[in-house]
Amino acid sequence: MQPKRRGLWLTIIGAIIMLPVAFGIFLAGTVLGVKNLAHLVDEAPVVTAGSTHDFAADTTVAMFGDSTGSSCTVTDPSGSTVTVENSTSGSVSEGDTTFNLLGSFTTSAAGAYQIDCGSGVDVKVLSGKDAADVSKKLLMPIFVGFGGAALAGLIGLAMLITGIVKLVRSNRERTAWSQQQAYAGGYGAAPAGYPYGQQGYPQQPSPYEQQPPPPQNPGQQPPNPQ
């Protein structure tokens, strides 16, 4: 019986896991992280332009708004200007709304802080635990997605290599089997020029055929017939 081809499906499945599945896992983790951050920003309190908001001491505050390129100024409870790390990039979307990262600052004392990012620019502020959760909610799903994608890629690669090895070996076995069948089919054929099934042995003379007379010695007379 002809050997079966092995490793073909293992090769195909390994390639699928290594490429589209691994990429899909990483993409899903990235999308989930961005969605978590957008949901967190969407639920954050809003500070209208030029108004104040109470913060605890030693708290990191991240400011998001729907404008781009805005430069924000922050004043502490004593009227002193707070150093703001302005941002020109970074945004998240929740539904049809896009929130751009405007900047961040750290409070020095508890109290009301005035935030002004330009005329008519309302600011969503993430502070305390919410601000600390930004990186966790954004980066954790991305890291998990990357780890899952790497694991899927390794599993797919192992399956792909194993499938290719089995496929090559089975092809060699099938080729050897075909050659053996071709050799066995031509073995023992009758030689050319002979009738089918007749062997090429010399013919034996029939005992009823007349034999030639034996040779005579010189001077010997032939027998006198009676």
C-alpha 134/C-alpha 82 separation (Å) is 22
More confident residue, 112 or 87: 112
pLDDT for position 198:
47
Per-range mean pLDDT, top range of 85-94, 193-202, 203-212: 85-94
The dihedrals phi and psi of 93, each to the nearest 5 degrees, come to -125, 140
C-alpha 114/C-alpha 41 separation (Å) is 19
Per-residue buried b or exposed e for 194-203, using 16+ beta carbons within 10 Å of the residue's own CB: eeeeeeeeee
Domains of the chain: 44-133 (2.60.120)
Q: What local confidence, expressed as pLDDT, does residue 209 receive?
A: 54
Query: What's the pLDDT at 223?
Result: 58
pLDDT of residue 205: 55
pLDDT surpasses 50 at 133 = yes
Write down the pTM of the prediction: 0.53
Q: Give the per-residue pLDDT at 196.
A: 45
